[in-house]
Amino acid sequence: MAASAFTKKKAGSRAVRSSRAWSRSLAAEHPTLSAIVTCYLDARAIPLMHERLSRVLGSLGVSYEIIFVNDGSPDDADAVLEELTARDPHVLAIEHSRNFGSQSAFVSGMELARGDAVVLLDGDLQDPPELIASFYEKWRGGYDVVYGRRVKREGSLLFGLFVKAFYRVFRGVSYVPMPLDAGDFGLINRRVVSELLALPETDQFLRGLRAWVGFKQTGVDYVRPGRVFGRSTHSQWKNVWWAKKAIFSFTFVPIELLGYAAAVSTALSSGAGVYLAIDAFRRPELAHGVSSLAVLIAFFGSVNLLALALVGEYLVKIFEEVKRRPKFIRRAIRCGGEHFASPAAVHGFLEERARRD
């Protein structure tokens, strides 16, 4: 009797393992892709993005969903997405309570994505959806992360040179090997998505974190086109802000440079002191005090100011992290012609979606 029960238990275990293996095999044969599109001042580009994404994803023969994240856009993006979600069951739209930035918008979409892999795109059509076919081929070949690598960009030559120079400096100083000329645009395997979502930090730089988590990664070259509609929402100051975000998130070189600067300034000031003492002894008739004092005050004052600024940048990041504020707030979700606008409705939708997963 006991032996019979034991045999049945073993058979049941084998059946469960066989069922799980079959499910994994089925998922491998018929994967699901989730495209996440962040939208800010992109209302005119949304229909074209939807059309191109649907055509590309449909040609791959996969199940797919398209998640548009309206990140507090002041244009009529919500009305465009209302019409889109009503007529296409593949489309889900998230509306944030304000603009939280593209990184938070991507995280918001990834939390709801159900695909075996996720594709991140900006809504301004500068990330060409047609490149997803190449991403998909690399992913099916065994890569966990496939990112777009900008070999050339249309637009300002000076800005393009600045960006290329930044990526090379960033790679040189980062404590994690960073891919060159790679933005957020790319395909990420479900395992990597789960690892990214599990990271507790608030101030996220996804392309850096994507490299930090590791796994098998590769790039696909492409020419980044210009913006189809309107002008870029990134000013020159915004680009400097992005550069600072990257540098202070993945390198300690600025702090280390302060140590080197302190050593050099100490050596210089010591040498200058010795020289002034000797010169005062050799030529006592000359006045040495005022000019020497002015130069030394200016030099050490600027070094101290630089030190405070660099240390302050790291303190600001610590301050942002310890506040533990949410990365975003969802005001509403649209799916299948339904509009979930109240907190209870949004929460209920998220719970129901989690149960289905």
How many domains does the structure of the chain reveal?
2
CA–CA dist 160, 148 (Å, integer): 16
User: What average pLDDT does this structure show over 83-96?
Assistant: 90
Compute the Cα dihedral for 66, 70, 74, 80 and give only its sign.
positive
Q: Are 270 and 332 found together in one domain?
A: no
Per-residue model confidence (pLDDT) at position 117: 93
Range with the poorest average pLDDT among 69-73, 140-144, 274-278: 274-278
Q: Are 271 and 138 found together in one domain?
A: no
The reply to whether 13 falls in a domain is no
Q: Which two tokens stand for residue 314?
A: 């790291």
Q: Are 271 and 352 found together in one domain?
A: no
Q: Is the pLDDT of residue 115 over 50?
A: yes
The reply to whether 92 falls in a domain is yes
Q: Are 106 and 93 found together in one domain?
A: yes
Please tell me whether the overall predicted TM-score, pTM, comes out greater than 0.75 for this model: no
Q: Are 225 and 167 found together in one domain?
A: yes
User: What average pLDDT does this structure show over 260-279?
Assistant: 67
User: What average pLDDT does this structure show over 273-296?
Assistant: 66
**Mean pLDDT score of the chain, rounded to an integer?**
75
- Give residue 171's pLDDT band: very low, low, confident or very high (50, 70, 90): low
Q: Are 276 and 175 found together in one domain?
A: no
Q: Is the pLDDT of residue 9 over 70?
A: no
Per-residue model confidence (pLDDT) at position 47: 92
CA–CA dist 291, 288 (Å, integer): 6
- Give residue 267's pLDDT band: very low, low, confident or very high (50, 70, 90): low
The reply to whether 200 falls in a domain is yes
The reply to whether 347 falls in a domain is yes
Per-residue model confidence (pLDDT) at position 229: 54
CATH number of the domain within which 85 lies: 3.90.550.10
- Give residue 164's pLDDT band: very low, low, confident or very high (50, 70, 90): low
What radius of gyration, in Å, describes the C-alpha atoms of the chain? 27
Q: Are 293 and 231 found together in one domain?
A: no
The reply to whether 11 falls in a domain is no
Q: Are 79 and 107 found together in one domain?
A: yes
Q: Are 227 and 343 found together in one domain?
A: yes
- Give residue 347's pLDDT band: very low, low, confident or very high (50, 70, 90): confident
Q: Are 217 and 335 found together in one domain?
A: yes
The reply to whether 104 falls in a domain is yes
Q: Is the pLDDT of residue 292 over 90?
A: no
pLDDT in tens, 211-266: 888 888 888 888 877 656 555 555 555 556 556 556 656 565 666 666 666 666 66
| Strand ranges for the chain from DSSP E | 32-39, 63-70, 91-96, 117-122, 145-153, 182-189, 217-224, 330-335, 338-340
Domain extent at residue 333: 30-236+327-356
Q: Are 218 and 97 found together in one domain?
A: yes
Q: Is the pLDDT of residue 315 over 80?
A: no
Range with the poorest average pLDDT among 201-205, 226-230, 280-284: 226-230
The reply to whether 139 falls in a domain is yes
Q: Are 181 and 266 found together in one domain?
A: no
Q: Is the pLDDT of residue 33 over 50?
A: yes
The reply to whether 198 falls in a domain is yes
